[in-house]
Amino acid sequence: MGGPIATFIASKRPEQCQHLILLSSVGISIHRGFKKSAPRLTHWLLQRTMLHPVLIPLLRRAFTSMGFPRGLTPETMIHIISHVSQFSFADHHSNLLAWKEVPNSSQRTAMIFTTNDRLIEEHIYQELNELLQPAVTLQFSSGGHNPQKEHAETIAAQLQEWM
């Protein structure tokens, strides 16, 4: 959820933000990872600790299927669900639109994503790309939701050249 946090800050204090780099960021539409995890319902259910013996294994399978490491602790998974359950696509869209109104924002924006992300579909990235029209768009065919792990050198070189 780093993209929405960065976009929020950039939209509220653009004079303090030289660049906005969105790496596998959520867009303005609900993506499969959000649908699959049903974060608000899951968060509500997780508040009932008596359900943890049933919910934690299900949650672990869901997280693993979305590409998260198997070793996440129950506390970490609950923490992630708690934060994601509070996310508002409408607020994120408003922040993206506010950033778009900042002079030269497209020249100060970069997007990085993969076509094999298990959380966010490619069309969501395309939608975000059309909205922001970033100066730099890096698209990879592999790397899942964390392209920086597989393509770190390429990403660093491209961003360094751009900046």
Q: How far apart are the first and last CA of the chain?
A: 23
| DSSP conformational letter for 18 | S
Q: How many domains does the chain have?
A: 2
pTM over 0.85: no
Residue with tokens 């359950």: 85
The domain spanning residue 9 has which CATH number?
3.40.50.1820
Q: Are residues 22 and 47 both part of a single domain?
A: no
Between 129 and 119, the more confident residue is: 129
- What's the pLDDT band for 36 if we cut at 50, 70, 90? low
Query: Which of 67, 84, 101 finishes a domain?
Result: 84
Between CA 30 and CA 96 the distance in angstroms is 15
How far are the Cα atoms of 4, 36, 66, 119 from residue 46, in angstroms, in the given order?
A: 24, 16, 19, 21
pLDDT tens, residue by residue, 141-159: 999 888 999 999 999 999 9
The pLDDT score that the predictor gives to residue 109 is 92
The pLDDT score that the predictor gives to residue 35 is 66
pLDDT tens, residue by residue, 51-69: 999 999 998 988 887 778 8
* Domain interval for residue 42: 33-84
CA pseudo-torsion sign 151, 154, 80, 90: negative
pLDDT tens, residue by residue, 70-118: 889 999 998 888 888 887 888 889 999 999 998 888 888 999 999 998 8
